[in-house]
Amino acid sequence: MAYHLNANYAQSLLQDKKIQDLIVQLDKGVEATWGEMASVGVVRECTYCALNGGGSCCGAGMEKMYDEILLLINLLLGKTFPEQANDPSSCYFLSERGCTLRAREVICVNYLCQRLYKNIEREKLIHLQRITGEELKTLFILEECIKKEINIQRR
């Protein structure tokens, strides 16, 4: 469905100034989130856990959280989807190098497990959540703008 929406609406969506601006803002927000996750140690802790600690939060079925609009946003951001899952016991979008998506579901961006609470200073986690909050707010606004635009064009 996301590929269908992309084929039918991407050109007009990408010509909309508000949507253009939100895509740029989202991309910057994603960069800020990943940068802060690396800086405070979330990336290190999650990598360790995935390799040595009994698994990953990116379990099988997480891909079912994604709807066609969020996947469309990833296509608009230039991402492609894998033809098959890297590991059937993990999320369809998880590769050997991490998530293949740019725009991610709220739980994938904002979830903090007990390991993170235990190993990373509380103030750093609070600061990270402020940054992820900005990314997710932009994503929400972008999703709503795209839904509205698609509905207008379908009439």
Report which of 99, 32, 31, 97 is spatially closest to residue 63, judged by C-alpha positions. 99
Report which of 19, 32, 40 is spatially closest to residue 132, judged by C-alpha positions. 32
**Alpha carbons 77 and 14: distance in angstroms, whole number:** 10
Positions in the chain short of pLDDT 70: 51, 53-55
What pLDDT, on the 0 to 100 scale, is given for residue 57? 85
**Alpha carbons 9 and 86: distance in angstroms, whole number:** 30
What pLDDT, on the 0 to 100 scale, is given for residue 59? 84
Q: Are 153 and 51 in contact (CB under 8 A)?
A: no
What pLDDT, on the 0 to 100 scale, is given for residue 55? 63
- Tokens found for residue 32: 């800020």
Report which of 50, 128, 48, 31 is spatially closest to residue 91, judged by C-alpha positions. 50
What pLDDT, on the 0 to 100 scale, is given for residue 52? 73
What pLDDT, on the 0 to 100 scale, is given for residue 110? 92
Count of all residues that appear for the chain in the document: 155
Structural domain of residue 25, as residue ranges?
2-154
What pLDDT, on the 0 to 100 scale, is given for residue 54? 63
**Alpha carbons 39 and 53: distance in angstroms, whole number:** 21
Contacts of 73 (CB under 8 A, 6+ apart): 23, 26, 103, 139, 142, 143, 146
**Three-state secondary-structure class, residue 155:** coil
Q: What is the tally of structural domains in the chain?
A: 1
